[in-house]
Amino acid sequence: MQTPVNPFKKALQEKRTQVGLWCSLLGPLNTEICAAAGFDWLLLDGEHTPNDPMNLFHQAQAIAGYPGVHAVARVPMGHGYVGQALIKQYLDVGIQTILVPMVDTPEQARELVRCMRYPPEGIRGMAATRASGWGRNANYAKEANREVCLLVQVETREGVRNLDAIANTEGIDGVFIGPSDISAAFGHVGDPWHPEMQKLHEDAFRRIQAAGKAAGILTLDETLAKKHVEMGATFIAVGTDSNLMVKSTSALVSKFKGTPQAAPKGNY
């Protein structure tokens, strides 16, 4: 067996824009429906959902049946022993790309890099898991460090202050700007696209790109999404499965009951 090349990581290194979708409905059936649509990547969310490693494993299996679509998983937290254990479990089920929320300092970023890698570069525990073909890939532990991809979220005032140091951390592949949390941190709760926030996003993108790293963001607004691509977003989520269902079901019921529901705002 061979260690699979991480196509998402390769695309980021080559600055090829990757268009994705947030998956929050736990799958695997809805996740497979989304995979069949042809997105470049699907984000399996473990932060704001009750997703567990087994459920993420089943969703990753469904995505694997659709070449060209890459599974990215977000851990609920990345710090401390709990975060270390979750990152290890996500990697061991065969998910190569991890997104970590609320990264505020370069020290946290460096520790996350260590959690993603086997010794001597890191502290990932050795085991014969699905990622290594249950031990059939004898070279996996020697090659995995090359193919794992670490994305970190900057979404607080402290994170913005430390953005340059975080982005310049060796082993960080991309920095994701969390618009909803950043807007709340800067006093614009529920208004992630406030003009002040849009200026902050532009500045953040420039700083990330200056460090030679990929910039990412999530927006449900098509016009803004295209603007973010023009700004240099290398990985961008342009919708969420839950929001698509909310909008479609509300629109359908309004056609028959005449009671239109308010359209959801923000990123959820």
Q: Cα–Cα distance between 29 and 60 in angstroms, integer?
A: 11
Residue 48 among the catalytic residues:
yes
What's the token pair of residue 181?
A: 């949390």
Does residue 28 sit in helix, strand or coil?
coil
**Burial class of residue 257, CB neighbours in 10 A (0-12, 13-18, 19+):** exposed
End-to-end CA distance of the chain: 40
> Which residue of the set 48, 58, 79, 228 is catalytic?
48
12-18: long-range contacts, CB 8 A cutoff, minimum separation 24: 12/149, 12/173, 12/174, 12/214, 12/234, 12/235, 13/173, 15/214, 15/234, 16/234, 17/229, 17/233, 17/234, 17/235, 17/236, 18/70, 18/234, 18/235, 18/236
What helix, strand, coil percent values describe the chain, rounded to 5?
45, 15, 40
β-strand pairing of 149-154 with 214-218 = unpaired
Does residue 135 sit in helix, strand or coil?
coil
Q: Cα–Cα distance between 252 and 237 in angstroms, integer?
A: 25
Q: Cα–Cα distance between 12 and 10 in angstroms, integer?
A: 5
Q: Cα–Cα distance between 54 and 74 in angstroms, integer?
A: 14
Give me the active site residues, please.
48
